[in-house]
Amino acid sequence: MFDELSLHAWPPFAGETSVYDDDGRTRAYERGEFCCTLCECSQEDNRLRLRVHPIRGEFAGRQAQIKIEAVLHRAPAPHEAEVDGVPAREWVFDAVSGELRLHWECNPCQGCELMIGWAA
């Protein structure tokens, strides 16, 4: 069972993955007690969208909140960054490596969305 998720993306920042989670201790997954989370990343013009969809499934002991880290490699300097429509508070951009790191918390039942804008 995880409480942190690190997502890495490289240009052209398009892709998706599904993340599996269960209690990690029992065989309850054999009875369908597990979760899957779809994560999608897309870029259109000067905007990137990273969406963590609401979980599908359930299991005992699942975390109510997860910490998410998004790492964008070879990225330009961001003009803006928002999580669920609110300015992102925790982010660092390294101009030398072109690495952008953002951190936030997400309710896995609701999902969340990161939007990043670059100057034109």
Counted domains in the chain: 1
pLDDT tens per residue across span 1-55 = 789 999 999 998 999 999 999 999 999 999 999 999 999 999 988 999 999 999 9
pLDDT tens per residue across span 89-102 = 999 999 999 999 99
Residue 100 sits in a domain of what CATH number? 2.60.40.1180
SS3 state of residue 30: helix
- Torsion on CA atoms 23, 24, 27, 32, rounded to nearest 10: 40
**pLDDT bracket for residue 119 (50, 70, 90):** confident
pLDDT tens per residue across span 107-118 = 999 999 999 999
Residue 120 has pLDDT above 80, yes or no: no
pTM: 0.91
Q: Residue 35 belongs to what domain range?
A: 4-118
